[in-house]
Amino acid sequence: MVKLVETKEECCRIISEDVENAVILEGSPELGLIGNILGWLLVEELKMKQIGFIESKYFPPMAVIYNGVAIHPFRIYNADNIVLFLSDFIIPPTVVFDMTNAIVDWAEKNNSQEIITFNSIVVREKSGGIGGAANSLEALKKLTDMDIPIIPYGNLNGLSGTLLTRSMVKNIPASCLFAEVLNQYPDPRAAATIVDTLNKKLNINVQTEPLLKEAEAIESRLKELANTVQDGQESAAYM
């Protein structure tokens, strides 16, 4: 029987198998849902196994339905020495600090190689590129060596930003990869721009086709809604 180990903080606890020397990925919903979309793609493409979850009384009262089965809304997956922390809800700001400490403590205990988190940057017009930031000059150099443009200034809120600062205290290399988005709506096409970089960085082979097909479906639906509104008809979404 697999042993599940608890990592406790004031607001939450991680209940998970231990995985030594892994790369940690973090995907939670922010603008464009980049981390969440990427996380689900990795689960499907890498056939990742759920090895644990995070729970807290401060989380929204919810379960996620996946293939008809209820699962925890914040889960932990593993495949090929990659550990993914995947949330399906926006982490409440009052919980972020303690939860980040729990994740970083888990990473330290398991001698994790590095932490990579995903986020977005709002632009007026997309260039199709991505950006990066890190928690040390050494981690930053790894990004520049991959020709990833560096975000020079700005604020990084939520779990992504706190992971960079708290992992820095523990001397764990960490970086954030940013996709370009135009607004707050789910953007699978933007998430797809990060996939090639992840493939190179982690030596994996994840395909972008599922995200591009999802993007086309969303764009088609938005176009239909726009035409409906332009024609003066009521949209079924509001009936």
Question: Domain residues of the chain, as ranges?
Answer: 5-207, 208-239
Position 219 pLDDT exceeds 70:
no
Residues 6 or more apart in contact with residue 141 via CB below 8 angstroms: none
First to last CA, the chain: 51
Report residue 225 as tokens. Answer: 């809604």
Model confidence at 92: pLDDT above 60: yes
DSSP 185-230: S--HHHHHHHHHHHHHHHT----SHHHHHHHHHHHHHHHHHHHHHH
Can you tell me the distance from the alpha carbon of 107 to that of 167, in angstroms, rounded to the nearest whole number? Answer: 9
Residue 159 clears pLDDT 70, i.e. is over it: yes
State the helix-helix crossing angle for 93-109 and 158-169, rounded to 10 degrees.
Answer: 40
Q: What is the mean pLDDT of residues 191-212?
A: 92
| Mean pLDDT (the chain, rounded) | 89
Q: H or E stretch including 233?
A: none
If one compares 236 and 126, the residue with the highest pLDDT of the two is 126
Q: pLDDT tens digits for 2-49? A: 567 677 677 889 999 999 999 999 999 888 899 999 999 999 999 999
Lowest mean pLDDT, pick from 8-12, 42-46, 67-71, 110-114: 8-12
CATH topology for the 5-207 domain: Rossmann fold (3.40.50)
The rounded percent of the chain whose pLDDT value lies above 70 is: 90
**Cα Rg of the chain (Å, integer):** 18
How many Å apart are CA 20 and CA 112, to the nearest integer?
6
More confidently predicted of 30 and 234:
30
Residue labelled with tokens 């001698």: 111
Does residue 90 contact residue 29 with C-beta atoms inside 8 Å?
yes
Q: How confident is the model at residue 121 (pLDDT cuts 50, 70, 90)?
A: very high
Report d(CA 66, CA 35) in Å as an integer: 18
